[in-house]
Structure 1
Amino acid sequence: MLAIRLHTFGPAENLTHEPVDDPSPTPGQVRIAVAAAGVHLLDTVLRKGEQGPLPQLPTLPTIPGREVAGVVESLGDGVAGLWLGKRVVAHLGFAPGGYAELAVVDVDRVHEIPANLDFAQAVAMIGTGRTAMGIVQFSELGADSVAVVPAAAGGLGTLLVQYAKHAGATVIGLAGGPEKVALVRANGADLAVDYTDPEWPGKVRAWLGGRHATVVFDGVGGTVARDAVGLLDGSPTGQHLVFGWSSGQPYTLEGVSEQVLGPVMTRKAGGPSPIRTLELRALAEAAEGRLTPTVQRFPLTEAANAHQALENRKTTGKVVLEP
């Protein structure tokens, strides 16, 4: 098969497209003919040799990528034959291997794809969608809510905007540049704002006309988060939910900010398999049409370009590679 491999940690140019041996499913695994592989910001962090939230760096050479969708084309021992030929999506967990024509995964991680989703949309929901479901657990959204979503044109931001709107909230989406602002507006935000404009907080306050924000969904940090949290002033129950800091600088305010990173999300979800619970919720939201992921597609051969675009904030929606 052909795959993207990383032999040396470093810049995106270190990702190479090359032939490698086909993986074989071990007992309890399936092999998927990959039709779409998700690209996550964490992939770019690992590529540079930074550990991020994972317990360790991958062993080199490695095939990056932990989100795949495609068709099951081979079964390991002990796997029920009904899986053969099914359209499926899976998060590979800590084991990479997604940027390839074939990938293997334990069958208990696999979900059948709802009929109305394509492979790229399913990939968006299995990783980014489950994160969105993990985050919204911490806020009760309704008609009285005013939700602020920084990075609202990104894969996660687009889903948070849609979820909050469906819950009846007034939604303010922040994005960088006029093109992204237009996408946020088209995605349903009541107000779409360019956060590169230094006057944006005042413009939002004027639009609110005396109302205040009640929740900030923050995966950005830095000055954007600081200014967004300022919109909570006057809210007796204002929430700043922190799930990342793509700017490189987390921002928190005592008594207001709450970190809802991965382990916190899964504890909140509960049950015997909380991650799977969140994945099922995400796929159900998409199957019912309440969430529609935005996808930006790159050929597998252009994985390096996809990484560069993601790191330089040139992408919208979920970034997906297609072999």
Structure 2
Amino acid sequence: MHAVRLHAFGPAENLRHEQVEDPRPGPGQVRITVEAAGVHYLDTLLRTGLEGHPAAPAALPSIPGREVAGTVDAVGDGTDHDWLGKRVVAHLGMAPGGYAELAVTDATRLHEVPATIDAAEAVAMIGTGRTVMGIVQFTELGPDDVVIVSAAAGGIGTLLVQYAKNAGATVIALAGGPSKAARALANGADLALDYRRPEWVEQARDHLGDTRATVVFDAVGGDIARQAVDLLGKGGRHLVYGGFGDDVTFTADELIERGITSETVVGPAMIEKAGGNIRALEERSLTEAATGRLRPAVQRFPLADAAGAHRALETRGTVGKVVLVP
């Protein structure tokens, strides 16, 4: 098979598309003919040699990638043969191997792909979608809410805009650049603003009038996050799920004075909130896509151009979930 392997930590050019031996499924495992493989921003950090993360490769060369969708073409000993020929999607956990034409994983990680979505969309929902389902655990949205979504043209932001609109909320989308803001508006946002322009705050205030925001979904951090939080009213919530800029923290006194809360809603907090049942978040995510309530934005790259996908992610040149197609 062909796969993309990392031979040395460093720039994206260290990712090589090459011929390697086909993997074989072990006991309790299946092999998937990959139709789409997810690329995550974390992959770019691991490529440079990020230490201490549980997903860091134990040795090089290594095949990155932890999200795949395709068709089961082989099963290992003790695995239910009914999986053969089924369209499936799986998050591989901390075991890499997704950037390839064939990938092996435990059968317990599999979900059947709903007939109404394709492989790339399934990959988006098994990773990005499950994160969104984890984030929205922390707030009950309704028609009285005014929601600010930063990085609204990204994979998570796109789905958060849709989720909030489905709940009846008013949505102000923030995106980096006019084309991304236009995408957020087309995605259903009531107002979409380019946060690179200094007048965005005043535009948001004009739109709000006497109303105040109730929730800020923060993936950007830095000054943009602080300005967004300034738009919150009493009882408002600052929910942090990323931070491409500086981390934004508030002292207990600041939070009391403002009458708001601020918390990180990914990582251990998300897992704890879900009662450790990450699979339930994946199932809910796929169901939301299958019914059409959530529609992931996907940007496809050829498997052979994994390096280009990494460069695009690192320069914020992508829209939606980045997926490699063999």
**TM-score range relative to shorter protein:** over 0.9
The answer as to 2:44 corresponding to 1:44 is: yes
CA–CA distance in structure 1, aligned partners of residues 159 and 55 of structure 2: 28
How much has 1:253 moved relative to structure 2? 2.1
The root-mean-square deviation of aligned C-alpha atoms, in Å, is 1.1
1:17-56 mapped onto 2 (5 Å cutoff): 17-51=17-51, 53-54=53-54, 56=56
CA distance in 2, matches of 1:28, 1:127: 22
Q: How does 1:92-107 map to 2 (within 5 A)?
A: 92-107=92-107
**What are the Cα deviations for residues 67-111 of structure 1, in whole angstroms up to 9, with x where unaligned?**
000000000111111100000000000000000000000000000
**What runs of 5+ residues in structure 2 fail to find an aligned partner?**
256-260
In structure 2, what is the equivalent of residue 216 of structure 1?
Answer: 216
Structure 2 distance, partners of 1:54, 1:238, is 34
Distance 1:165 1:52, change over 3 A: farther
**Partners of 1:40 and 1:58 in 2: how far apart?**
19
Q: Which residue of 2 aligns with 1:265?
A: 270
Distance 1:58 1:215 in 2: 40
Aligned residue identity for 1:54 = P
Partner of 1:276: 279
How far is 1:58 from its partner? 3.9
Residue-by-residue CA offset, 1:9-66 (whole Å, 9 max, x unaligned): 1111111101111111000000000000000000001011113753644421110000
State the alpha-carbon separation in 2 of the partners of residues 55 and 133 from structure 1. Answer: 22
Q: Which amino acid aligns with 1:239?
A: R
What is the aligned partner in structure 2 of residue 314 from structure 1? 317
- Alignment TM-score, normalising by the size of structure 2: 0.95
How far apart in 2 are the matches of 1:108 and 1:12? 32
Pair 1:293-2:296 in alignment: yes
Task: Pick the aligned partner of 1:253 from 227, 250, 275.
Answer: 250
For the 8 Å contact 2:55–2:96, the answer to whether it is kept is no
Deviations 1:135-184 (A, max 9, x none): 00001100110111100000010000000000110001110111111100
Question: Contact 2:129 / 2:282 at 8 angstroms: preserved in 1?
Answer: yes
Report the alpha carbon displacement of residue 261 of structure 1 after superposing the two structures with TM.
Answer: 1.8
Q: Distance in 2 between matches of 1:322 and 1:40?
A: 14
Cα distance between partner residues in 1 of 2:280 and 2:267: 14
* Separation in structure 1 between the aligned mates of residue 188 and residue 140 of structure 2, nearest angstrom: 19
Across the two proteins, how many residue pairs are aligned to each other?
318
Counterpart of 1:243, as a letter, is Y
CA contact (8 A) 1:137 1:268 kept: yes
The answer to whether the 8 Å contact 1:46/1:52 transfers is: no
Stretch moving more, 158-167 or 46-55: 46-55
Q: Unaligned 5+ residue runs, structure 1?
A: none
Mapping 1:190-201, distance limit 5 Å: 190-201=190-201
SS at match of 1:65: coil
Give distance in 2, aligned partners of 1:284 and 1:246: 30
CA–CA separation in structure 1 for the residues paired with 2:281 and 2:32:
22
Contact 2:37-2:323 within 8 A present in 1 as well: yes
- 1:293 is displaced (CA, Å) by 0.4
- Which secondary structure state, in structure 1, belongs to the residue aligned with residue 234 of structure 2? coil
Closer/same/farther in 2, CA of residues 51 and 211 from structure 1, 3 Å limit: farther
Identity of matched residues, % = 65
Query: Match for 2:238 among 215, 218, 240?
Result: 240
How far apart, in 1, do the equivalents of 2:244 and 2:325 lie?
25
C-alpha distance in structure 1 between counterparts of 2:325 and 2:51, whole Å: 26
Partner of 2:258: none
